[in-house]
Amino acid sequence: MKILDHLEELIVTVMLSLMTLLTFMQVVMRYAFNAGYTWALELTTVFFAVMIFVGISYGVRVGAHIGVDALVKKMPPGLRRGTSIVVVVLCLVYAGLVIYGSWIYVSKMKMVGVELEDLPIPIWVVRAILPFGFALLALRFAQVLWALITGRSDSLHLGDEVAEALKLKSEESAS
């Protein structure tokens, strides 16, 4: 799984870098040379989509997604773990539904044979990030479920903005 971890991070980093570079080039072309690339916005959108759909699984892995868990945090460990298992199963069901629906959608786009507006790329190739991204998400939720079932975890580990803000504030005060 370490390879997948690094691959997710690499894809997100590369997509963000390419988006930034392409947007910068487009701004320079427009303002310095009164020209531009007709395909730049579309390609930036493709990079953004890839970054987002790979990033959602990355967010689950590192516990970066926000959630309303005030009630769950007050539960005793056993109930918290049981509630977390139910939530993760529901997330897996949702991911499965999206994988199924997006697979049908991508298959229809392949049959139709439409290309992107500004680039000679079949639209189904770009839209294939939908089932791929949600398959990664399902894999990450399956890992969370396994950690809950085996007792290595007692809850979903969501981003805790309050704790992070307090930590940042205390670090600023210390300096």
pLDDT, one tens digit per residue, over 80-103 is 889 889 999 999 999 999 999 999
> pLDDT band for position 173 (50/70/90)?
confident
CB-neighbour burial class of residue 1 (10 A; exposed 0-12, middle 13-18, buried 19+):
exposed
| pLDDT tens-digit map of 118-129 | 999 999 999 999
Which of 28-37, 71-80, 146-155, 157-166 is the least confident region? 157-166
Task: Classify 117 as helix, strand or coil.
Answer: coil
Whole-number pLDDT of residue 160: 59
Between 95 and 174, the more confident residue is 95
The vertex-134 CA angle with 128 and 140, nearest 5°, equals: 140
Between 19 and 175, the more confident residue is 19
> pLDDT band for position 164 (50/70/90)?
low
From residue 150, alpha-carbon distances to 36, 129, 144, 156, 171 in Å are 55, 31, 10, 14, 36
- With a cut of 70, say whether residue 162 has pLDDT above it: no
Q: Which tokens hold the place of 59? A: 């967010």
Q: Which tokens hold the place of 121? A: 């790329």
